[in-house]
């Protein structure tokens, strides 16, 4: 069934972002690989499409609506005003009308109407109610995997309807009837089994961290530690496993380690919870999300730490900030002087405020930097104690670490930020065309700031964003190494006196 | 008499239907914290956010100035027109209702202008055309018919408003009077009855829905207060603990 990659036209960046004309079916060929039986079964789902999938799917939909006020209200409330129609980066990049948030929701809403509303039962044609048939399932699989759950549409909806909730529900239903997505489900299986998305076993992780210690010491002549499973450490660092060896992520990890080292904060990584990412969110599975989240609680208890700190990862921060307390709390066994969990940017920001970090901005004088607000950080979480801290804190940290910082246009950052194009469980090679096209609005904004300020680097605080940009930058004429971690800037700017050890 | 029966029936179905929906929304758990951020970190902040959303259509303003302008004109017009109609139900007419009475014709016009803009957008903008079902057009046409028939009675074929008032007061006191007016008035009331009837079964549920939308009403304080969500059965806001933030 594996399809050969089809060549596609890379969008051309113009002088400004224009809203494309509707092109029906423009992305109807795009769908990710379907998970094989063992992958689904490992998560407790049927291996293959069950015989009575229509019935099971419709029943599951009813069950989900009963359990989620958001879903119930969102399915009832849409007035088709069109406010969201030009807000999704996948629509802006492809013109496929099913990538308009309202149309994407309608794929599910039409089934809900058919089976759970009076009007849809008796007058389906009038209100756009439709049967959950093969064509519909096909459309669900394609288009609910063209949503990165970035919530940009929810900012603009007059009722706050969040397509992410709808797309999570649809994916949960598809999993329940045996049509899971390979990329997400395979990864969740690895987390359950080995503790991280990459399937990196403990000895390999220990080796990697040891190697890092040697590299860093060789480079800056300071014995910065990368501790693993150290009991009694103050901080448990939970970070995306990409930080352990992917570029540019790893330089971010080095940055965190240098921050902890200079501030004299003892810290550790846990091999049990060696992954911040929680793909349970992407597939809308509360059970899987909770199971993945519980590892963090277990690790914190086992290691006897006082604080939990998350590394640079967008959706992980959503789960950490917004859900961890609910899913795995209460965390009354931790130091109550610190929020649980904390973001590494919050930690660094606090230390800068307290004057506990020595930063030499000129170390980054070769860089002219812009910052990409990651969607889950921007619209589904916060940093610090004020609304909007998720925008100001990272920028404060960047400005404290380099002299040349420039923002992209105002309508493409902050709460209006564009997704990188690879979030929500779409960061897979079988969706490259979608990822490239979905990145277009962000690339346009990058081009704008680049035209004005000759940007050399875009900094980000999300592992998915970093991987995605490394992949798509070359399609748009940028270099893959122009994407960096915020904590790479910090790490490079930190000044260490001659190490006494 | 027939129109009285229709109006009663429509009103009962509307109230019971919307009541049932509101109960359903309130009784459905909100298991996780999902406010669209940046969101207020206090209850007072949320009240302010909702106020701006309800009164000024804040989010829609951010989204599309055109839709906002016509949508807001329509809703504001509808609001004022409804208030003006209180003159048919109060005796003596409440002071402030008398005071705003002269606004009613502008309110009706604002409604029509707003609705025309919204309808035009449905035909002219390809994206909005794509997402429109027949019911979306019909809904606009129905409300246009209500506003239009009202304005016609105001400007062209005048109706005996003393008789209208007698009829309306009669409805309130279950002292039924025959509707002694034009067929235009009959149509006006019939359209209103249809609107009331479909309210609980249609997208008009966006009105109560907004107040139960977790992305808007939830307080952004998941680290400070542990959200448990499952017992959110009393009101939209009971999902949010009333206790003081312990910072």
Closest CA to A254 of A472, A496, A457: A496
Residues paired with residue A457 on neighbouring β-strands, in sequence order: A369
Please determine, for residue B239, whether its predicted confidence score (pLDDT) is greater than 60. Answer: no
Please determine, for residue B237, whether its predicted confidence score (pLDDT) is greater than 60. Answer: no
HSE of B72, CA atoms in CB hemisphere, 13 A: 17
Q: What pLDDT score does A500 carry?
A: 54
Question: Is the minimum CB–CB distance between B59 and chain A shorter than 8 Å?
Answer: yes
Read off φ and ψ for residue A173, nearest 5 degrees: -65, -45
Query: How far is B94 from chain A, CA to nearest CA, in Å?
Result: 33
Q: What pLDDT score does B175 carry?
A: 84
Note whether B133 contacts A126, CB cutoff 8 Å. yes
Query: How far is A66 from chain B, CA to nearest CA, in Å?
Result: 6
By Cβ distance, the residue of A76, A323, A340 closest to B33 is A323
Residue whose tokens read 């992407």: A282
CATH number of A49-177: 1.10.1060
Which of B40, B68, B127, B231 is the best residue to mutate to test the A interface, defined by the most A CB atoms within 10 Å of its own CB?
B127
**All residues at 6 or more sequence positions from A166 whose CB lies less than 8 Å from its CB, including other chains:** A71, A74, A75, A104, A105, A108, A109
Asked which of A71-85, A343-357, B150-164 is least confident by mean pLDDT, the reply is: B150-164
C-beta neighbour count of B123 within 10 angstroms: 11
Helix axis angle for A101-116 and A134-143, nearest 10°, is: 150
At A2, is the pLDDT very low, low, confident or very high (cuts 50, 70, 90)?
very low
Q: Which of residues 260-299 of A touch B (CB under 8 A)?
A: 286
Which of B209, B227, B230, B231 is the best residue to mutate to test the A interface, defined by the most A CB atoms within 10 Å of its own CB?
B209
CA torsion sign for B97, B99, B104, B110 is: negative
DSSP A28: T
Query: How far is B110 from chain A, CA to nearest CA, in Å?
Result: 18
Task: Determine contact, residues A236/A324, Cβ cutoff 8 Å.
Answer: no
Q: What pLDDT score does A4 carry?
A: 54
Nearest CA in chain B to A102: B131
What are the sequence ranges of the domains in chain B? 2-20+53-217
Size of interface A-B (CB pairs under 8 A): 208
Separation CA A224–CA A227 (nearest Å): 10
Q: Which of residues 187-206 of A touch B (CB under 8 A)?
A: none
Note whether A70 contacts B216, CB cutoff 8 Å. no
Question: Is the minimum CB–CB distance between A382 and chain B shorter than 8 Å?
Answer: yes
What are the sequence ranges of the domains in chain A? 49-177, 188-493
Please determine, for residue B103, whether its predicted confidence score (pLDDT) is greater than 70. Answer: yes
Burial of A307 (0-12, 13-18, 19+ CB in 10 A): buried
By Cβ distance, the residue of A85, A160, A387 closest to B220 is A387
Percent of chain A with pLDDT over 70: 98
CA torsion sign for A241, A243, A247, A249 is: positive
Separation CA A41–CA A45 (nearest Å): 5
Q: Give chain B positions within 8 Å (CB) of A172.
A: none
Percent of chain A with pLDDT over 90: 94
Q: Give chain A positions within 8 Å (CB) of B67.
A: 81-83
Question: Is the minimum CB–CB distance between B12 and chain A shorter than 8 Å?
Answer: no
Q: Rounded mean pLDDT of A332-344?
A: 97
Query: How far is A23 from chain B, CA to nearest CA, in Å?
Result: 10
Q: What is the mean pLDDT of chain B?
A: 91
Q: Which of residues 72-101 of A touch B (CB under 8 A)?
A: 72-74, 76-87, 97, 100
| Strand, helix or coil for residue A483 | strand
CA A477 from chain center: how many Å? 24
Q: Which fold has domain B2-20+53-217?
A: Fumarate Reductase Cytochrome B subunit (1.20.950)
Q: In what order do the strands lie in the sheet with A267-269?
A: A267-269, A235-238, A307-310, A342-343
């Amino acid at each position: 069934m594996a399809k050969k990659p089809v060549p596609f036209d890379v969008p051309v960046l113009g002088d400004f972002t224009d809203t494309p004309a509707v092109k029906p079916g423009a992305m109807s060929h795009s769908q990710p690989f379907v998970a094989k039986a063992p992958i689904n079964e490992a998560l407790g789902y049927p291996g293959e499409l069950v015989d009575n999938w229509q019935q099971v799917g419709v029943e599951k939909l009813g069950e989900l609506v009963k359990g989620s006020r958001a879903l119930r209200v969102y399915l009832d409330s849409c007035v088709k005003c069109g406010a969201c129609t030009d807000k999704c980066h996948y629509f802006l990049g492809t013109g496929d009308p099913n990538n308009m948030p309202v149309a994407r929701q309608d794929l599910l809403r039409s089934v809900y109407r058919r089976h759970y509303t009076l009007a849809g039962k008796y007058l389906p044609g009038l209100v756009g109610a439709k049967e959950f048939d093969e064509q519909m399932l096909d459309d669900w699989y394609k288009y609910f995997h063209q949503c990165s759950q970035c919530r940009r549409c929810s900012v603009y909806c007059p009722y706050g309807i969040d397509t992410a909730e709808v797309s999570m529900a649809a994916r949960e239903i598809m999993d329940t009837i045996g049509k899971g997505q390979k990329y997400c489900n395979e990864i969740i299986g690895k987390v359950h089994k080995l503790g991280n998305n990459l399937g990196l076993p403990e000895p390999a992780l220990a080796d990697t961290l040891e190697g890092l210690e040697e590299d860093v010491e060789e480079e800056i002549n300071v014995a910065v530690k990368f501790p693993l499973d150290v009991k009694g450490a103050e901080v448990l660092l939970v970070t995306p496993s990409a930080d352990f060896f992917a570029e540019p992520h790893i330089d971010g990890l080095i940055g965190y380690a240098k921050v902890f080292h200079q501030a004299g904060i003892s810290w550790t990584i846990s091999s049990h919870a060696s992954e911040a990412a929680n793909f349970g969110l992407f597939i809308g599975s509360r059970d899987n999300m909770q199971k993945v989240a519980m590892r963090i609680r277990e690790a914190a208890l086992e290691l006897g730490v006082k604080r939990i700190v998350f590394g640079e990862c967008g959706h992980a921060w959503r789960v950490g900030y917004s859900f961890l307390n609910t899913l795995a709390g209460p965390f009354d066994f931790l130091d109550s002087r610190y929020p649980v969990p904390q973001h590494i940017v919050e930690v660094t920001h606090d230390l800068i405020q307290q004057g506990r970090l020595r930063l030499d901005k000129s170390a980054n004088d070769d860089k002219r930097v812009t910052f990409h607000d990651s969607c889950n950080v921007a619209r589904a979480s916060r940093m610090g104690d004020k609304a909007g801290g998720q925008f100001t804190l990272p920028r404060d940290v960047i400005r404290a670490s380099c002299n040349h910082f420039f923002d992209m246009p105002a309508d493409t950052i902050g709460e209006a930020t564009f997704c990188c194009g690879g979030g929500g469980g779409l960061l897979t090679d079988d969706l490259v065309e979608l990822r490239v096209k979905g990145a277009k609005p962000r690339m346009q904004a990058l081009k704008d700031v680049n035209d004005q300020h000759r940007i050399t680097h875009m900094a980000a605080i999300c592992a998915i964003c970093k991987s995605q940009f490394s992949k798509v930058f070359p399609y748009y004429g940028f270099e893959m190494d122009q994407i960096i971690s915020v904590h790479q800037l910090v790490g490079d700017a930190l000044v260490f006196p001659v190490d006494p050890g | 008499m027939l129109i009285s029966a229709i109006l009663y029936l429509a009103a009962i179905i509307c109230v019971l239907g919307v009541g049932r929906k509101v109960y359903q929304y309130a009784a459905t758990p909100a298991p996780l914290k999902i406010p669209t951020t940046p969101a207020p970190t206090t209850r007072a902040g949320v009240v302010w956010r909702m106020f701006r959303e309800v009164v000024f259509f804040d989010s829609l303003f951010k989204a599309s100035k055109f839709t906002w302008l016509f949508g807001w004109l329509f809703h504001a017009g509808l609001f004022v027109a409804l208030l003006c109609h209180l003159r048919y139900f109060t005796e003596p007419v409440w002071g402030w209702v008398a005071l705003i009475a002269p606004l009613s014709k502008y309110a009706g016009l604002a409604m029509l202008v707003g609705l025309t803009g919204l309808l035009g957008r449905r035909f002219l903008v390809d994206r909005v055309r794509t997402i429109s079902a027949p019911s979306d057009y019909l809904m606009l046409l129905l409300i246009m018919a209500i506003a239009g028939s009202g304005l016609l009675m105001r400007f062209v074929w005048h109706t005996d408003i003393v008789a209208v008032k007698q009829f309306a007061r009669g409805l309130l006191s279950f002292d039924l009077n025959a509707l002694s007016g034009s067929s235009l008035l009959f149509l006006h009331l019939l359209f209103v009855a249809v609107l009331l009837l479909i309210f609980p079964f249609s997208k008009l549920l966006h009105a109560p829905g907004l107040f139960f939308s977790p992305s808007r009403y939830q307080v952004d304080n998941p680290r400070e207060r542990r959200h448990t969500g499952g017992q959110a059965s009393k009101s939209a806001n009971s999902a949010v603990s009333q206790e003081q933030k312990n910072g």
